[in-house]
């Protein structure tokens, strides 16, 4: 063959081989098991079953696992889990008859200890699990155990596994490694943890982020087992060290022979992707705009870029660097890749960032104090001045609960009397809030108790007292229920400080002059608050 012809055919042959690569890919299977309920002595979990579903969905999306080869079990019994392993065994045997390479991935999130998984009041010994997986005739098997113990920490519920050192592996790129890999989410005598803020475990959160591309350090569009383990190890360790009272060290037990790498996810299979370019430095949070769920968390230096595989849709992006926060939105079209630009993000005070609720914001409590101008409830004229103190708790992204104390004092007079009027109102309410950049608008409805104190003194009291014993002063107190409708606007200021402007109307029922009467009054306030 002539040299010019060989030069012409070389790229053609390479293109044909690359085009045929998907057809020669391994047949892959996943079994994802999540169980929130363990033994009677185990603490209840909230997110283990959700974690299993997210792993199964992502392996179908990016892991080259066909829908018919993905098994998801949520809240299943030990018998059903064993049956699923038998089913997986049969599926792999059937695939091997066609001469294809087979790879299986088993994921478990739930309760357990150093010897067994806790499936309700039943147990599956770890030795039995290993034996059953080892008996499946797959070329390679990756087992990931995010297993839990009973107990609670300051900011997470306990999870546990078996200890091993941080593991680093570098393999050649040809396909074909054979053997068993077991990854555990925590070390010996350690506890792995799940987080209400993340709606999942720390370990699985970083595992999923890594699979979407955060772990793709060589930017080749594939996340290998080695890349994924390194990413999950270091980020789980950092999260547990920085956010909880216990440190968590994932571990890997590796028994592989042959050359090549196990690829965990193929980023090009995603319907769209978001590129985090060089120059943007910090911690990125990517949130699905439809439901507020965190899809990926990426910690990236400015000298590197990352491609994050995501379904088409709208996303809210938050970037934290040092003590500063930037936020913005992007829309990803099907089949395209979009690069995040610095101009897409605007610097935000902490309260306004992502208009987030308690599942994203670790500080949903706030307090406020304000000056008040109010109409006196029983006096019916004049303006009272006073103060207000409030305590609020956000529940999710929009709902809130709060308690308020308002005190106002007013004076009035006519030709005969001078009046002093004191209102003290304690209210509990529920409300709904919407966000628009640094602004938050909320409305609430509540009920409480109103205490009214009135004092009256005759203007000519000294003259009357000199010539008569007639009463020149009087005082009375009334206590009754009140209903309150309030609105409030908050403006995020520096760091966690907020400016508050609000008003309300309250309807009170009070015993006045020997009979119960209803009175309508209103108030307005201006003050400051702090989110903590």
Q: Which residues is 518 bridged to in the sheet?
A: 509
Alpha carbon of 256 to those of 56, 140, 175, 253, 410: distances in Å?
Answer: 24, 8, 12, 10, 82
Please, where are the H alpha helices in 369-417?
none
The rounded distance, in Å, linking the Cα atoms of 277 and 391 is 41
Query: Between these two residues, 122 and 155, which has the higher pLDDT value?
Result: 122
The rounded distance, in Å, linking the Cα atoms of 365 and 498 is 13
The rounded distance, in Å, linking the Cα atoms of 190 and 530 is 36
The rounded distance, in Å, linking the Cα atoms of 238 and 242 is 6
Give Dmax (Cα) for the chain.
135
The rounded distance, in Å, linking the Cα atoms of 426 and 416 is 33
Residue 523's nearest CA partner among 446, 397, 425, 413 is 425
* In the predicted structure, residue 167 carries a pLDDT above the cut 90: no
> In terms of residues, how long is the chain?
532
Q: Could you read off the pLDDT of 377-404 as tens digits, one per residue?
A: 877 677 899 999 999 998 866 889 999 9
CA 288 to chain centre: 11
Strands 346-348 and 324-332: antiparallel
Query: Tokens 């709904």 identify what position?
Result: 432
The reply to whether the predicted model has a pTM over 0.75 is no
CA quadruple 137, 204, 287, 196: dihedral positive or negative? positive
Q: Which residues is 146 bridged to in the sheet?
A: 109
So what's the pLDDT on residue 405? 97
DSSP sequence for 188-229: TT--EEEETTTTEEHHHHHHHHIIIIIT-TT-SSEEEHHHHH
Q: Cα-flanking dihedrals φ and ψ of residue 159, to 5°? A: -140, 160
Please, where are the H alpha helices in 76-143?
78-96, 126-135
Q: Which residues contact 386 (CB under 8 A, 6 or more apart)?
A: 371, 372, 374, 406, 407, 408, 409, 423
* In the predicted structure, residue 20 carries a pLDDT above the cut 50: no
Burial 101-125 (b: 16+ CB within 10 A, else e): bbbbbbbbbbbbbeebbbbbeebbe
Neighbouring C-beta atoms of residue 223, cutoff 10 Å: 26
Q: Which residues contact 203 (CB under 8 A, 6 or more apart)?
A: 146, 159, 185, 186, 192, 232, 236, 248, 250
Range of weakest confidence among 75-89, 90-104, 170-184: 170-184
* In the predicted structure, residue 168 carries a pLDDT above the cut 70: no
Q: Could you read off the pLDDT of 406-416 as tens digits, one per residue?
A: 999 998 877 77
Domains of the chain from N-terminus onward: 24-268 (3.40.50.1460), 271-348 (2.60.40.1120), 365-531 (2.40.160.20)
DSSP sequence for 296-337: EEEEE-TT--EEEEE-SEEEEEEEEETTEEEEEEEEE-TT-E
CA quadruple 118, 123, 124, 127: dihedral positive or negative? positive
Which element (helix H / strand E) includes 463?
helix 461-467
Tell me what percent of the residues of the chain surpass a pLDDT of 70.
79
Confidence of residue 175 (pLDDT cuts 50, 70, 90): low
Q: What angle do CA 157, 160, 161 make, to 5 degrees?
A: 165
The rounded distance, in Å, linking the Cα atoms of 87 and 73 is 13
The rounded distance, in Å, linking the Cα atoms of 247 and 116 is 22
The rounded distance, in Å, linking the Cα atoms of 516 and 201 is 56
So what's the pLDDT on residue 352? 42
So what's the pLDDT on residue 524? 96
Q: Could you read off the pLDDT of 188-206 as tens digits, one per residue?
A: 655 656 666 677 788 899 9
User: What 3-state class would DSSP assign to 69?
Assistant: helix
């Amino acid at each position: 063959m002539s040299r010019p012809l060989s030069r012409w055919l070389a790229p053609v042959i390479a293109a044909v081989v690359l085009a045929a690569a998907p057809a020669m890919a391994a047949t892959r299977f996943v079994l994802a098991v999540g169980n929130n309920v363990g033994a009677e002595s185990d603490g209840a979990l909230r997110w283990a079953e959700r974690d299993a579903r997210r792993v199964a969905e992502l392996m179908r999306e990016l892991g080259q696992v066909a829908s018919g080869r993905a098994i998801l079990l949520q809240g299943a019994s030990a018998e059903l889990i064993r049956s699923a392993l038998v089913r997986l065994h049969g599926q792999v045997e059937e695939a091997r008859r066609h001469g294809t390479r087979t790879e299986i991935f088993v994921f478990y999130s739930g309760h357990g200890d150093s010897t067994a998984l806790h499936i309700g009041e039943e147990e599956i010994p770890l030795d039995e699990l290993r034996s059953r997986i080892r008996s499946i005739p797959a070329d390679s098997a990756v087992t990931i155990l995010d297993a839990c113990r009973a107990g609670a920490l300051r900011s997470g519920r306990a999870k546990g596994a078996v200890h091993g050192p941080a593991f680093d592996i570098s393999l050649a790129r040809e396909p074909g490694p054979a053997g068993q890999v077991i990854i555990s989410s925590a070390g010996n005598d350690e506890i792995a943890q799940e987080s209400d803020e993340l709606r999942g475990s720390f370990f699985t959160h970083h595992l999923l982020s890594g699979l979407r591309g955060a772990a793709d350090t060589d930017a080749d569009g594939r996340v290998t087992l080695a890349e994924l383990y390194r990413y999950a190890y270091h980020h789980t360790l950092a999260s547990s060290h920085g956010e909880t009272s216990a440190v968590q060290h994932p571990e890997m037990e590796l028994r592989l022979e042959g050359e090549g790498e196990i690829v965990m996810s193929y980023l090009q299979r995603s319907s769209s992707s978001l590129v985090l370019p060089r120059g943007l430095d910090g911690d990125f949070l990517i949130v699905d705009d439809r439901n507020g769920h965190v899809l990926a968390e990426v910690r990236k230096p400015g000298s590197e870029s990352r491609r994050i595989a995501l379904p088409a849709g709208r996303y809210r992006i938050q970037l934290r660097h040092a003590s500063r926060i930037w936020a913005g939105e992007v829309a990803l079209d099907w089949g395209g890749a979009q690069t995040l630009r610095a101009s897409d993000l605007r610097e935000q005070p902490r309260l306004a960032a992502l208009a987030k609720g308690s599942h994203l914001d670790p500080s949903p409590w706030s307090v406020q104090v304000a000056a008040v101008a109010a109409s006196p409830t029983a006096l019916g004229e004049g303006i009272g001045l006073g103060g207000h103190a409030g305590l609020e708790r956000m529940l999710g992204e929009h709902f809130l609960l709060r308690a308020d104390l308002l005190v106002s004092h007013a004076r009035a007079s006519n030709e005969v009397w001078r009046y002093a009027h004191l209102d003290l109102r304690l209210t509990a309410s529920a409300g709904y809030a919407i966000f628009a950049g640094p602004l938050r608008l909320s409305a609430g409805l509540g009920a409480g108790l109103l205490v009214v104190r009135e004092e009256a003194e005759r203007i000519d009291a000294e003259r009357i007292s000199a010539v008569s014993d007639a009463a020149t002063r009087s005082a009375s107190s009334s206590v009754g229920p009140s209903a309150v409708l309030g609105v409030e606007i908050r403006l995020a200021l520096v760091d966690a400080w907020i400016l508050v402007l609000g008003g309300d109307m309250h309807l009170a029922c009070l015993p006045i002059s020997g009979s119960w009467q209803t009175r309508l009054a209103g108030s307005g306030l201006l003050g400051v608050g702090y989110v903590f």
